[in-house]
Structure 1
Amino acid sequence: MTKLKAPVAVPADVDGDLATLRGDCARMAGHWHVPDRTASGPVSPSLIHGVEVPSKSARLLDAMSDYGD
């Protein structure tokens, strides 16, 4: 007969686990203010300006395959 060792204790996650995260979110939910939903219309492309993407991020996105490849 094989003698089994006691299970090795796994160290707790320093940042917490999913249950802790869900509990934190539940406690904070009462503090969040949700504004009334308003319908938004389309924005003219001429109004969209000033968006800067770091070259490192642009290269990363350029190297990714398109959705569905």
Structure 2
Amino acid sequence: MPALIHCGTGEKQSSKDRKMRMLSPQPFKVAEIFQENIKGKSIILVDDIYTTGRTFFHAADCLFENGAKSIETFSISR
């Protein structure tokens, strides 16, 4: 089970232009079973493609709001 649950509109980032991506609202929430495990932890986020970075920013914001200590990112391609 993933720690982050996508609760957005379901519209793919690839179907949006840069401006639309940057204006997109927070699409993530932390799965309830992970909420206590995130507090005070260092986390690595992995994504396949880094385009605008918006997915990473949204994911990191969500995790920080739930108590993450630090977040590093890794993407396969840019």
Q: TM-score, normalization: structure 1? A: 0.23
Please say which structure displays the higher CA radius of gyration. Answer: 1
Greater strand content: 2
Q: TM-score, normalization: structure 2? A: 0.22
Q: Which has the higher contact order (CA 8 A, sep 6+)?
A: 2
